[in-house]
Structure 1
Amino acid sequence: MALSLCSCAVLLASCRASADTRTGQADGYGGILRVQVMMEDGAISAVNILEQHETDGIGSRALDILPDEMIRMNTWDVDVVTGATTTSNALREAVRVALNASDTMDDNTGNPANRAGQAVCEGIGMAATGRVGPGKDDEDGQVYSFNVVFAHGTFDEDGRIVSMAVDQLEVATPNYSGASMPQFSGFPGQGGYSLWDDNTGKVVGYTEDSEDNYMQEIAAWTSKRARGEDYQLTSGSWREQMDAYQNMMVGMTVDEVETWFGRYFSAENGHPLTENSSSDADRARWEAFSDDDRARAADIVSGATMSLRDAHGDILTAIRRAWEDAQKGE
Structure 2
Amino acid sequence: MKKTLAIILSASLVLSATALPVFAVDTTTSSTIPAESAAPVAAPAAPKAPAATKAPATPATVIKGDTYTVVSGDVLWKIAQKHNMTTEALIKLNPQLKNTNLIFPGDKIVVKAAAVTPATPAAAPAVAAKKLYQGIGMVANYRDNSARGANNDNLNITTATVLFDDKGKIVDLEWDVLEITPAMFPGWMDPKATDKTLYKDAQTKGFPWETKREEGYAYDMTHLKSKGAADNLSKSEWFVQLDIYEDLFKGMTVAEVNDWFAKYCGPDGRPYKLAYLTNEKITAADKANAEKAMATFTDAEKKMLVDVTTGATMALQDPHSRFIDALNKAYDDQKEVKY
When normalised by structure 1's length, the TM-score is 0.51
1:226 shift after superposition: 0.4
- Contact 2:151 2:181 survives alignment (8 Å): no
- Residue of structure 2 equivalent to 1:256: 256
- Letter of the structure 1 residue corresponding to residue 254 of structure 2: V
Mapped partners of 2:307, 2:163: distance in 1? 24
Distance across 2 between alignment mates of 1:317 and 1:300 = 21
Structure 1 unaligned residues grouped into runs of 5+: 1-116, 175-182, 193-205
* CA positional deviation for 1:251: 0.3
Aligned to 2:308: 300
1:160 to 152, 169, 177: 169
Bigger-Rg structure (1/2): 2
* 1:244 Cα deviation after fit: 1.3
Matches within 5 A, 1:259-298: 259-266=259-266, 268-275=267-274, 276=277, 278=283, 279=285, 280-298=288-306
- The answer as to whether partners of 2:134 and 2:336 remain within 8 angstroms in 1 is no
State the distance in 2 between where 1:227 and 1:312 align. 17
Amino acid at match of 2:325: T
Gap change, CA 1:302 and 1:189, over 3 Å in 2: closer
Q: Is contact 1:143-1:173 (8 Å) kept? A: yes
Query: Across the two proteins, how many residue pairs are aligned to each other?
Result: 189
Amino acid at match of 1:148: I
Task: Give the distance between the partners of 1:208 and 1:225, measured in 2 at CA.
Answer: 28
Other-structure match for 1:229: 217
Encode CA deviations 1:29-48: one digit per residue, 9 max, x unaligned: xxxxxxxxxxxxxxxxxxxx
Q: Which residue type is aligned with residue 207 of structure 2? A: A
Change (3 A) 1:191 1:143: farther
- Residue 274 of structure 1, CA deviation: 2.0
Identity, % of aligned positions: 27
Partner-residue secondary structure (3-state), 1:143: coil
Which residues of structure 2 form unaligned runs of 5+? Answer: 1-128, 222-231
Q: Could you say if the C-alpha distance between residues 186 and 208 of structure 1 is closer, same or farther in structure 2, counting changes exceeding 3 Å? A: closer
1:329 Cα deviation after fit: 7.5
Of 181, 191, 200 in structure 2, the residue corresponding to residue 172 of structure 1 is: 181
Amino acid in structure 1 at the alignment position of 2:215: R
Q: 1:263 to 1:253 in 2, by over 3 A?
A: same
* Structure richer in strand, relative to its length: 1
How far, CA to CA, are the matches of 1:217 and 1:271 in structure 2? Answer: 38
Q: CA deviation at 1:303?
A: 3.3
RMSD: 3.0
Quote how far apart the aligned CAs of 1:152 are.
0.9
Q: Report the Cα offset of residue 184 of structure 1.
A: 2.9
Cα separation, partners in 2 of 1:119 and 1:245, compared to 1, 3 Å: farther
Secondary structure at 1:151 match in 2: strand
Deviation of the 1:250 alpha carbon: 0.5
CA distance in structure 1 between the aligned counterparts of 2:241 and 2:144, rounded to whole angstroms: 25
The separation in 2 between residues aligned to 1:136 and 1:170, in whole angstroms, is: 16
C-alpha separation in 2, matches of 1:190 and 1:327: 45
For residues 196-244 of structure 1, the C-alpha deviation after alignment (integer angstroms, 9 at most, x for no partner) is: xxxxxxxxxx975973276599612100000011123322221111111
SS of the counterpart of 1:219? Answer: coil
Q: State the distance in 2 between where 1:325 and 1:186 align.
A: 38
Q: Which runs of 4+ in 1 moved over 6 A?
A: none
Change (3 A) 1:156 1:272: same
Counterpart for residue 81 of structure 1: none
Shift of the 190–216 alpha-carbon distance from structure 1 to 2, 3 Å rule, reads farther
Letter in 2 for 1:270: G
